[in-house]
Amino acid sequence: KAGVTQTPRYLIKTRGQQVTLSCSPISGHRSVSWYQQTPGQGLQFLFEYFSETQRNKGNFPGRFSGRQFSNSRSEMNVSTLELGDSALYLCASRPGNNSPLHFGNGTRLTVT
Amino acid sequence: ILNVEQSPQSLHVQEGDSTNFTCSFPSSNFYALHWYRWETAKSPEALFVMTLNGDEKKKGRISATLNTKEGYSYLYIKGSQPEDSATYLCAFGRSDDKIIFGKGTRLHILP
């Protein structure tokens, strides 16, 4: 079974631009969560999608948005990029509520 | 604001020694407690998901316990090996399905 796939692996953008990150979950997993990891902050929860609906949202500004498609693939969009958005963005999928998260390799975003 | 606290932040352990670290979480709205291992240049990998007070889980030399009433979990590693060097993450699963992570314990095994 293929794991969680995130694309691209690396991105360099400039302030003010927008970016879209993609996540393909493990086949059969309907829940997809997104996390931001910055040095010293640990994994910060962005949002979770389940069956194309946003089920939960973390404490991030409205510049961060996402969506999930009918095949469970998910995208995350960040508009008007700021230097502080430079981070590793991890996507994780799981089949059910008591199941562990299965993480992708992440997208490393650098904003200059 | 939910806080999941892990201690210590960093730990150096001699190869062959046993060690343990702590995760503290809110005792309200508890649904599940997760432990993950995150090795450098890899993605986090699940170790355990525990849901019941008093749960104990074991995977090889690694085990974990759970106390939901007082809001803590311990992770134990017996006879540390170099391959155990990693960051160990604890995550609190709430009844609304949100999973909140602690900042992790960075474990270094000294040869």
Give tens-digit pLDDT for A31-65.
999 999 998 888 999 999 999 999 999 999 999 99
Q: Going edge to edge, which strands form the sheet with A5-7?
A: A5-7, A19-24, A74-78, A64-68
Region B66-89: mean pLDDT is 96
**B92 membership: H or E segment, kind and range:** strand B86-94
Dihedral through CA A43, CA B1, CA A30, CA B41, nearest 10?
A: 10
User: Cβ-count burial of B93 within 10 angstroms (0-12 exposed, 13-18 middle, 19+ buried)?
Assistant: buried
Three-state DSSP class for B93?
strand
Interchain CB contact of B41 with A (< 8 Å): no
Give the nearest partner residue to B98 out of A48, A90, A106, using CB atoms.
A48
Residue A39: asked if its preceding bond is cis (omega within 30°), the reply is: no
Q: What confidence tens digit (pLDDT) does each residue in B17-42 have?
A: 999 999 999 988 889 999 999 999 99
Per-residue model confidence (pLDDT) at position B27: 82
Q: What is the pLDDT of residues B43-72, one digit of tens each?
A: 999 999 999 999 999 999 999 999 999 999
Q: What percent of chain A has pLDDT over 70?
A: 99
What are the angstrom distances between the C-alpha of A77 and each of A19, A47, A84, B41?
Answer: 6, 12, 15, 24
**Mean pLDDT throughout A64-77?**
96
SS3 B38: strand
Query: Chain A: residue nearest B52 by CA?
Result: A98
pLDDT at B1: 54
- Asked whether the predicted pLDDT for residue B2 surpasses 70, the reply is no
In 3D space, the residue among B42, B50, B48, B49 whose CA is nearest the CA of residue B83 turns out to be: B42
CB distance from B89 to chain A under 8 Å?
yes
The mean per-residue pLDDT over the stretch A88-101 comes to 92
By the CB < 8 Å criterion, does B99 face chain A? Answer: yes
Residue among A35, A44, A100 whose CB faces B49 most closely: A100
For B6, name the nearest residue in chain A, comparing CA atoms only. Answer: A42
Q: Which residue of A has its CA nearest to B37?
A: A103
Q: How close, in Å, is residue A61 to chain B by CA atoms?
A: 16
Band the pLDDT of A77: cuts 50, 70, 90: very high
- Tell me the chain B residues in contact with residue A99 when contact means C-beta distances shorter than 8 Å: 49
Cα B47 from chain centroid (whole Å): 8
Q: Do B101 and A45 touch (CB under 8 A)?
A: yes
Q: In terms of CA atoms, which chain B residue is nearest residue A101?
A: B46
